[in-house]
Amino acid sequence: METKIFQPNQIDEAAAAIQAGELVAFPTETVYGLGADATNEAAVKQVYLAKGRPSDNPLIVHVTGEDTVKQYAQPLSAKAEALIKTFWPGPLTLIFELQPGKLSKAVTGGLTTAAFRNPDNQVTLDLIKAAGVPLVGPSANTSGKPSPTLAKHVYHDLNGKIAGILDDGPTKVGVESTVLDMSTEIPTILRPGGVTEEQLEAVIGTVRSNHHKVGKGEIPKAPGMKYKHYAPNAQVTIVDDEADWPAALAWAAQQDGTIGVMALDRTLASEDLPANTEPFSLGADMDSASHLLFAGLRHYDLESPVTGILAQGFAAEGLGAAYMNRLNKSAGQQHFTK
C-alpha cells in the first residue's frame, strides 16, 4: 500500500478513504491520530494491526460535538454537560457508560464504557463531517513509540500500512488530551493532559487522579495505563533538579557515544555541554517543553541518533503533570542520581 499525503484541500478524498474502511491519520491540537470509521469493526481492527497495539487498549472516539456522543452514550450528567460546554473542542477526553450494543468491543476494549473527544482542529472536524461518522483516533505511531506531532513522524512509522495522512503541519499542544472518567461516582483523571486538574475542579468540583499503570490482568479504561509508551530508541534519563545538570553532563562526557540533552534554553545556555552531546531545546518554559517533548524524542530517533538522552524534569503540577506522566513512561521511570 502506498501511503498518500493529503493536503487540507483534499479532505473529500481523505473522507472517501475512511468511508471505504481504510485508515487515514489526521491532525489534532494534541498529536496526530490514526483515523478509522468507529462504526466499522473491520476498519477498527486494522488500527490495532497497523500500530501493533494490544487489542485490550481502548480507543478514543473523535466527534464534532455533543450530539454525536448522545447517540452512543447513556444520558449525560449536568457535570458532563458543563465540561463539554467549557472545554470542547479541546484536549479533554471524557469516558461515559454506553448504550448497549452501540459500539463494537474493538473500540471499547470489551468494556461497557467508551472515551469521546471533540478535537480543536478545523481540518479534522471537517474530515469527520465529510466522512459522516465518528473516528477512532489513537496516536498515529507504532505502539510504544513517541507520539507524532508532525506528519513526517506518522510517515516514518506507518508508511505502507495506512491509506493516507492528512497533513496540517505541527500540532499546537504536543501532549495528548486529559482523560477524565465520568462513569465513576467521583470523576477520575486516568491520564493527565492539556486540561489540568485545577481547571476541571473549577468547573465541576472535586476530581480524583488515578493515572497508575494497571495490572497485567486488568483491562485499561484509557490509553497509556497499561503498556509501555513514548519510548525512543535510546534510553531516556530524567534530570529532576536544575542543580543536578553539571553532574549529569559530567556523566555524559564519560560515555562512549553521543548523548542527547533535552532541556530549557536557560539550562542549555548556562551549562558547558560536552563535545559528545547533541542538544535539543525545549524552549523557554513548561508550556513550550510540553509542546516540544515528543518532537525532541522523535528528533533523536529520526535525525540525530544518540546512545542515551538526558531530559529535563519538572514538578508534576498543572501542565507539568502531563509532561512528567509522558516523560516518566518514556524513561521507564529512570532518573539521574549523583
At 171, which CATH number? 3.90.870.10
Residues 192 and 291 placed together within one structural domain of the fold? no
- Taking the model in full, what pTM does it have? 0.92
Cell numbers for 264: 530549557
Residues 261 and 205 placed together within one structural domain of the fold? no
Lookup result for grid cell 462513569: 183
53 annotated ligand binder: yes
C-alpha distances (whole Å) from 300 to each of 219, 260, 287, 292 are 32, 7, 21, 13
The three-class DSSP label of residue 34 is: strand
Query: 272: which strand partners?
Result: none
Order of all β-strands in the sheet with 277-281:
235-239, 308-312, 259-263, 277-281
Task: Please state the domain count of the chain.
Answer: 2
Single out the residue of 6, 3, 55 nearest to residue 27, CA to CA: 6
The three-class DSSP label of residue 161 is: coil
Residues 189 and 305 placed together within one structural domain of the fold? no
Instruction: Kindly report the CATH number assigned to the domain that includes residue 293.
Output: 3.40.50.11030
191 annotated ligand binder: yes
141 annotated ligand binder: no
291 annotated ligand binder: no
Cell numbers for 186: 467521583
Residue 336 lies in a domain: no
276 annotated ligand binder: no
Residues 296 and 164 placed together within one structural domain of the fold? no
Residues 11 and 105 placed together within one structural domain of the fold? yes
Query: 35: which strand partners?
Result: 24
Sequence-ordered list of residues with C-beta below 8 angstroms from that of 194, at least 6 positions apart, any chain: 29, 30, 90, 91, 92, 173, 175, 176, 177, 178, 319, 322
Residues 195 and 318 placed together within one structural domain of the fold? no
Residue 229 lies in a domain: no
Residue 258 lies in a domain: yes
C-alpha span between 239 and 254 (Å, rounded): 17
Q: Which string of b and e fits 167-186 if b means at least 16 CB within 10 Å?
A: bbeebebbbbbbbbbbbeee
Residue 106 lies in a domain: yes
Q: What string of pLDDT tens digits covers the 338 residues of the chain?
A: 789 999 999 999 999 999 999 999 999 999 999 999 999 999 999 999 999 987 778 899 999 999 999 999 999 999 999 999 999 999 999 999 999 999 999 999 899 999 999 999 999 999 999 999 999 999 999 998 999 999 999 999 999 999 999 999 999 998 999 999 999 999 999 999 999 999 999 999 999 998 655 555 666 676 655 555 788 999 999 999 999 999 999 999 999 999 999 999 999 999 899 999 999 999 999 999 999 999 999 999 999 999 999 999 999 999 999 999 999 999 999 999 98
pLDDT for res 215:
59
C-alpha span between 309 and 289 (Å, rounded): 15
30 annotated ligand binder: yes
pLDDT for res 310:
98
Given 175, 194, 209, the domain boundary residue is 209
8 Å CB contact between 28 and 121: yes
Residues 175 and 278 placed together within one structural domain of the fold? no
Residue 73 lies in a domain: yes
8 Å CB contact between 288 and 320: no
Residue 170 lies in a domain: yes
Let me know the angle formed at the C-alpha of 10 by 162 and 106, rounded to the nearest 5 degrees: 35
62 annotated ligand binder: yes
Residues 17 and 130 placed together within one structural domain of the fold? yes
Residue 117 lies in a domain: yes
Residues 40 and 123 placed together within one structural domain of the fold? yes
Residues 52 and 158 placed together within one structural domain of the fold? yes
230 annotated ligand binder: yes
8 Å CB contact between 300 and 280: yes
8 Å CB contact between 246 and 337: no
Domain span at residue 289 reads 235-331
Residues 245 and 96 placed together within one structural domain of the fold? no
C-alpha span between 154 and 166 (Å, rounded): 10
Q: Which helix (H) or strand (E) holds 126?
A: helix 122-131
C-alpha span between 199 and 90 (Å, rounded): 13
Residues 200 and 271 placed together within one structural domain of the fold? no
Given 166, 194, 209, the domain boundary residue is 209
pLDDT for res 117:
98
C-alpha span between 20 and 23 (Å, rounded): 9
pLDDT for res 221:
73
Given 191, 209, 227, the domain boundary residue is 209
Residue 57 lies in a domain: yes
177 annotated ligand binder: yes
Q: Report residue 290 CA to chain centroid gap.
A: 11
pLDDT for res 214:
57
